[in-house]
Amino acid sequence: MNALLEPGMLVENPARPDWGLGQVQSNVAGRITVNFREEGKVVIDGDRVELVLVLDGRSGLAKG
């Protein structure tokens, strides 16, 4: 799924739900830059972390 992510798409990191919703800034050679609501800009190694696409702008991860 990470290979299909494009700038502007909304995602979540299931390992870090506290980061909130993020917007993809770039996706180059498996390195995905995402600007998360609660964490700011983070570069994700797409080989190690599988981001979750958010289609409707609402979080799908459980809060807790």
Quote the number of domains for the chain.
Answer: 1
Do the domain assignments include residue 15? yes
Q: What does the pLDDT look like over 3-60, one tens digit per residue? A: 999 999 999 999 999 999 999 999 999 999 999 999 999 999 999 999 999 998 666 6
CB burial string 20-55: b at 16+ within 10 A, e below? ebbbbeebeeeebbbebeeeeebebebeeeebeebe
Contact yes or no for 51/13 (Cβ under 8 A): yes
- Establish if 60 belongs to a structural domain: no
> The domain spanning residue 22 has which CATH number?
2.30.30
Q: pTM for the whole thing?
A: 0.87
Whether 62 is in a domain gets the answer no
Domain enclosing residue 33, as ranges: 2-54
Residue 61 in domain: no
pLDDT > 80? residue 64? no
**Residue 13 placed within a domain:** yes
In a domain, 59, yes or no: no
Q: Is the pLDDT of residue 63 over 60?
A: no
